[in-house]
Amino acid sequence: MPVSAQRYLVPVISNDEIIADHRVLTCHAPEVAALARPGHFVNVSVGDGYDPFLRKPFSIYTVDRERGEISMLFSIVGATTRGMAKKRAGDEIDLVGPLGGKIFQPDSREGATHVMVGGGYGVPPLVFLSKELLTADPGANIEFIIGARHKDLLLCEAELAEAGVTARMTTEDGSHGMRGRVTDALRLVLEEQSGNPVTVYCCGPTPMMHAVSDLCLELGAPCQLSVEVGMPCGMGVCMACVVDLADGRRVRCCTDGPVFGAGEVIW
């Protein structure tokens, strides 16, 4: 269900590079931290005027509700992220959140295995989901698959290990982990889990999510996909994030999503 999103000017706590051109920005946003759940996002503005004019959406990477902090993991690819990369502790950042209508719904079946499949910017919200699952149930069964073109682009392996989650890494060039794509590893995991309750949660580049959705439909595995498109307002007003669904409807990703089931979205 949608939550009551607000605009906040919040102080930056830290802004650390984790790999080349990728940073984690942590800010003190207690109101957002209190309400944020896996699948929610925030919209960020870094300009003092009209450049950049539109806000950019970022998945929430970590939440510390006790300290009132949230973090975003981002790659430096445009004006907004270049502005974010320049922020230092004590600077302010302008954000709206938490945003999102339909978010991840963890599988509540007894003994269920939660399979995370992420690539690039799609990994952070799945790390958030994994940590929330482990907080609720330290014995939760989590399989995590992370994919990238080569090893220098892989994210969050160490962070997941610290949380007690061993990730299966895939690279297209075979430079780290399994050679191939996330769907190759996912097929193996689903075959291993055959006969057991399982749900797949996915976020990443659109072609990857399309392939994961198709595989889950083929193998009959429930799948929830967090679709990340431009969502400038985040509140369903600007209509910039409309996606086409298989049932013929055209819906707003920001308020009717961003999480959809396998087979729902026309890719």
Going by the annotation, the residues of the binding site for [2Fe-2S] cluster are 233, 238, 241, 254
For residue 179, the tally of other CB atoms under 10 A from its CB is 12
Known binding-site residues equal 233, 238, 241, 254
Reduced 3-state DSSP string for the chain: CCCCCEEEEEEEEEEEEEECCEEEEEEECHHHHHHCCECEEEEEECCCCCCCCCCEEEECCEEECCCCEEEEEEECCCHHHHHHHCCCCCCEEEEEEEECCECCCCCCCCCCEEEEEEEHHHHHHHHHHHHHHHHHCCCCEEEEEEEECCHHHCCCHHHHHHCCCCEEEEECCCCCCEECCHHHHHHHHHHHCCCCCEEEEEECCHHHHHHHHHHHHHHCCCEEEECCCCCCCCCCCCCCCEEEECCCCEEEHHHHCEEEECCCECC
